[in-house]
């Protein structure tokens, strides 16, 4: 949860409901608001000038990433919408406006991991993989894994 907003971009912090409502009407005819109101935004995180989360839609989850700078909002969603700003993006923006305190601050989370004892960190990784065995792909990119072959920059999400 966000305890302070010191490391979060002021541009992201100052996004207003009115700005999101305009994006919603122009791009989704209000569907983004419906998705937000129906509680479809889950696992939301913030880091500096980025927010991301999962938008649950019936039997499918969509990954949304939003990055802001002084001039623009950059959006990426795993849905097949022709609009760059789809209903999933708008739902996440509404969630940010109304539920900032519910977003996990990634920078603080990573700081906790950096300071964690090795044994506890190994237990965290174990739970990460046991909870969803697909997560092994983040550590094991080939059958005969060797530490020297580990390339963190080339890990990808499916």
Q: CA distances (Å), 25 to each of 19, 32, 86, 129, 136, in order?
A: 10, 9, 11, 40, 41
Rounded to two decimals, what is the model's pTM? 0.78
* pLDDT score for 5: 54
CA distances from 92 to 35, 64, 115 (A): 9, 8, 30
* pLDDT tens digit sequence for 17-39: 999 999 999 999 999 999 999 99
Residue ranges of the domains in the chain? 10-106, 116-151
């Amino acid at each position: 949860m966000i305890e302070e907003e010191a490391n979060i971009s002021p541009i992201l912090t100052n996004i207003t409901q009115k700005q999101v409502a305009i994006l919603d009407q122009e791009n989704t005819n209000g569907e983004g608001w419906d998705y937000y109101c129906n509680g479809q935004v889950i696992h939301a995180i913030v880091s500096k000038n980025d927010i991301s989360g999962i938008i649950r839609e019936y039997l499918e989850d969509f990954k949304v990433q939003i990055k802001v700078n002084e001039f623009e909002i950059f959006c990426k969603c795993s849905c097949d919408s022709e609009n760059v700003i789809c209903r999933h993006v708008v739902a996440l923006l509404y969630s940010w406006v109304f539920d900032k305190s519910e977003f996990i601050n990634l920078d603080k989370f990573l700081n906790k991991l950096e300071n964690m004892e090795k044994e506890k960190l190994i237990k965290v990784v174990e739970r990460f993989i046991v909870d969803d065995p697909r997560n092994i792909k983040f550590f094991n990119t080939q059958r005969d894994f060797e530490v020297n072959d580990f390339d963190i920059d080339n890990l990808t999400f499916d």
